[in-house]
Every structure is written in C-alpha cells, then in structure tokens.
Amino acid sequence: MLHLPTITSLSFIFNLLIGILFTSFYLHKKTTSFLLFGGACISFATAILLVSFKEELNLPCLTHYLANLFIILSPLLLVIGLNKFNNKAVINLTPLAYLYGLCALLLVFVYNHVLSQILTSFIVAILFLYGAFILLKTHCVAKLQQRLLIIGLVTHSLVMLGQVILLLLPFITSNNDDFKPQLHILLIAHLFITTLCALILPFIIFANSESKLINLANNDSLTQLLNRRGFFSTCKNIKANTADKNHTLALIMLDIDFFKRVNDKYGHDVGDQALKWIAQHISQLFMNIGITARIGGEEFAVLLNGYTLEQANTLAEQLSFNIRQQPFYCNDQSIPLSVSAGVSSTTINQLNLKELLLHADKHLYLAKETGRDKVVSQYDHTSSRKPTRPQYNT
C-alpha cells in the first residue's frame, strides 16, 4: 500500500527542487512566469511542511490557516504564470485576486473546521480548471507534454471536487462515516498529480524557449524569411526526405539592382522597407511551393523542390515582372525597383546545395553583367527581354 509520509516527503522534495530551479532561471533570465512557477512549487512545498507539523505544534492558525493559504496560493501562482507565459493574457486576473482575498477572510472564521478543507479544495479545483483552460489556449511546441499537463490539471480538479463531495457527504446525509480511506486515497492522488504537473511544466517551458531561440537563429528579423543558416538547415533534409532520387529541384538566386543607390538617395530606413517589400513579393509567389530566404544583404534564394529549370525560370520571370509592375511606395514617393536572378537546377541524386548556389550565383552574375533586371538560367545565358534599368534622378 502507498505510504503517505513517504509520498508527502517525496512531493515536498520534488516541489522544492523544481521551485528552486524555476527561481534560479528567473534570476538568470528575468522572465516573470519563471518566478511565478517557482513560487507555485515552493508555495506547495511550504504547505506540505506546515501540515506535517500539525500534530507536534498544536498551532492551528499556522498548520491549518497558513497551510490552506499556501495550498490555494500554489495553483493561483500557476494560473498567473501560465497567463503570462501565453503572452496574450487569456483571462482577467483581477477576479482571481478578489477570490483569494475572500478565501483568506473566510478561512479566518473556519480554519479549525472541516469547512476550511471544503473551501480550500473547491477553490483549488476551480483554479486548476482555469490553468487547464489557459494552457489549452497556449501555443506549445511540446504538444504531448502540453496535453499531459492539461489532463493532469483537469484530473487534479476532479480529485479536489471529489474531496469536496466526500467532506460534504456527512453533512447532507444521515451517514456519519468520515470516509477516511477514500480521503486518504484522494490526498495521495493530490500529492502525486501536483508533483507530476510540476515535473512536466519545466519541459514545456524549455521546449518553447528552445524553439524561440532556434527561430531567432534561423530567421531574418527584418524580412521574416529564413536567413542563410536557416536556409541551409531547412534544405539539409530534402535529400533524405525525397524517395525518388531522379526528382529535380531548382534554385533561384535574386539580387536587388542598384540597391546601394536606393540607400544613398532615400536613406537606410527606406532601404530596409524596400528589402521587406521585395521579401513580401517573394513570399507571395513562393510561400506554398518553395523554401525562401534572405541569404545576404540584398540577396535572396528560393529552393523549389520538384520543379524543373524551365518552371523555375518562368517563376523567376513572374517575380521580376511583379516587382517591376508594382512600384514600391515609401513616404509618398514611388521608387522603381528591379531584381536580377540566376537559376540553376539538379536532381536529388546529385544535390549539393553549395554547388547549386554557386551555379545560380554565376548566372546571377551574368544577369548583372548583361544589363540587370533579367533572369539567367543554366540553359540560356541571354534573356529575351530587353532590360530596363530603374531610374533614380540623382
């Protein structure tokens, strides 16, 4: 049979350690939700400690009243922490603060009575449901752990409601049993689930933090496209994930024409807006069909898996046309922009991304050399369209 003092001790140790872990992370990263989660775990550990002195101390205001306040404070801090972690503040926390104040007041009158347990269990059940709701609305990378924690919080809430019912039964029926064995089981379940939830929570938080860091490392903050590193790491798996090794893929490299002049004439900020505008055009056309990246200052790349050189060439021409047709407007000025592009292709079998980029870059260089505002690909080093340079009145 499960030994209550052992489970209580383990629960105390785990919650205290996880609380210290979260608090240390808060001291390092200054993320408030870490402090709140740490507070929730330490608060629960404190409640366990106070309750364990029930027999020895004979100070019910400490071992009952204060312990109950800490028991409620623990899920309350969890709820506030989850709300902060979500970034969008899913619920309004003011009513919960009032609820806590009201409980603290009511417990003053009943802390030595079974009613204090009923009230505490009921409030804790509500708070866990709130926690499950917020977590449901939160984007988590670790989906399995998120589901486990939601199930844990809902189950915990049901356990607490079960405790309320068992404690109320002697009052509402003529049955004078005190349901001690059943309450004992529920108490063990309470300790067990709290500890389990406290163990899952750090994993969810760290998985999200890691994903944010990976995003920062792989994405260009100005254009929201992948950066060079992200481009290489995304393309890395293509070979392994494509079964047909004769499958073709093409790469388009793009470079804005005379971009230095844009910066010089209109300023660096306008230059940044122009980069974003070009990136939007690239995203619009290739969002669902290719891997898009800003691989250098004013250089972009698009990898089209399953596309032939001809198809990629047509798409590059389309992009170039779109950019030429819709002038870029900034501060009520129309600023003509154009791009030059180089296209190369290969089969999955022979894929070497660096080489593919090198080939596309050679074609891009040819496009620049032969007049700009054109697409040059492997099979045709001359463009049928007569290039039109953007004009800047300098």
Ligand X SMILES: Nc1nc2c(ncn2[C@@H]2O[C@H](COP(=O)(O)OP(=O)(O)OP(=O)(O)O)[C@@H](O)[C@H]2O)c(=O)[nH]1
- Of residues 23 and 283, the one with the C-beta less far from ligand X: 283
Q: How far is the CB of 285 from ligand X (least distance, A)?
A: 21
**CA separation, residue 388 to residues 29, 46, 254, 324, 346 (Å):** 53, 75, 16, 9, 30
Torsion angle in degrees (nearest 10) through CA of 78, 146, 48, 130: 40
Beta bridge partners of 346: 249
CB 364 → ligand X: shortest distance, Å? 9
Q: What pairs with residue 300 in β-bridges?
A: 254, 294
User: What is the C-alpha to C-alpha distance for residues 34 and 23, in angstroms, rounded to an integer?
Assistant: 6
Would you say 204 or 341 has its CB closer to ligand X? Answer: 341
Q: How many helices (DSSP H) and strands (DSSP E) are in the chain?
A: 15, 7
> Would you say 139 or 261 has its CB closer to ligand X?
261
User: 254 or 348, CB closer to ligand X?
Assistant: 254
Residue number, 230 or 271, with CB nearest to ligand X:
271
Q: How far is the CB of 255 from ligand X (least distance, A)?
A: 5
Provide the minimum distance between the beta carbon of 368 and ligand X in the complex, in angstroms, as a whole number.
5
- Determine whether 362 is exposed, middle or buried from the number of CB atoms within 10 Å of its CB (0-12, 13-18, 19+): middle
Q: What residues contact 185, with CB distance under 8 A and at least 6 apart?
A: none
Question: Smallest distance, Å, CB 269 to ligand X?
Answer: 7
Binding site for ligand X (CB under 6 A): 255-260, 263, 268, 271-272, 275, 297-298, 368, 372
Structure tokens at 293: 């990246």
Nearer to ligand X, 77 or 364 (CB): 364
To ligand X, the closest distance from the beta carbon of 363 in angstroms equals 14
Q: 312 CB contacts (<8 Å, ≥6 apart)?
A: 250, 251, 252, 304, 343, 345, 377
**How distant, in Å, are the alpha carbons of 28, 59, 129, 342 from that of 31?**
8, 37, 24, 46
Minimum CB separation from ligand X for residue 256, in Å? Answer: 5
Handedness of CA 317, 319, 320, 322 (dihedral sign): positive
Contact 118, 131 (CB under 8 A): no
- Shortest distance, position 96 Cβ to ligand X, whole Å: 45
Between 274 and 285, CB nearer to ligand X? 274
Residue (255 or 361) nearer to ligand X, CB: 255
